[in-house]
Amino acid sequence: ENGRLKGFNVEVLETVAQIMNLNLRFDWGIWADIRAELEAGKIDGLTGMMYSEERSKIINFTVPFNTLSYALFTHQDSPARTVEEIGDGCIAVQQGDIAHDYLLSRGFRGTILPLATAEEALMHVALKRCDGALVGHVHGWYVLRELHIDTLVAGDNTLKLSQDCCFAVSKNNEWLRGQIDEGLRIL
C-alpha cells in the first residue's frame, strides 16, 4: 500500500523491531525465489514461514507467533471436495509452500502444479485449469474476496494441515533469531 508492505506478519515484526531497537528493511518478491535466497544466506529473514522439521535443517525458526490452517479450494461445480476425491487430477499450490511439501509427503498421485502465488493457484481453479488449490484457508478467502471470485468453495475440513507460522532467519544468524524471540516474548 503506497509502496509499503502491509499485513499481519509485517506489523508483528515491525513491533518486535521497535521493542528490540532493530533496524529492519522489508522487501518483497516471488516466494520460491525469496526462500532460496534465505536458504543460501543471501537475505537475513522472512516475515513468515511454516515450521517443519525438514525446513529446520537449513533455516532457523523463531518461536511461533501464529498457527495457520490450509484448505482445499475447488470449483463449486466440481463434486470433489477432498484431496482423495481429486484422485489423479490436478492440485495447484504456491511453489515452495508447505502445502507443496504436504502433497509430496502424502504421495498424492495426481499432478501437483506449483505456481508463483496462491492467487495464481486459485485463479487456475476458477478458470477450471486445475481441480483444486491447496492454500491457507483465511488467505484463500481473502484472495477470493479481493479478486471478486465467487465460484470456489473451501472443502476438505478433514485436512490435517495446520502449521505454526514463525519468522525464519538464515541458519547462521542466531543473534537475530534470539532478538526476534525475545521481542515476541515481550510483545
Do 161 and 98 contact (CB within 8 A), yes or no? yes
Q: Please tell me the least confidently modeled range out of 145-149, 161-165, 166-170, 177-181.
A: 161-165
Q: Residue 109 pLDDT more than 80?
A: yes
Do 108 and 83 contact (CB within 8 A), yes or no? yes
Q: Residue 131 pLDDT more than 90?
A: yes
Report helix, strand or coil for 43.
coil
In 18-171, the DSSP E strands lie at: 45-50, 59-61, 66-75, 90-94, 111-115, 132-136, 152-155, 162-170
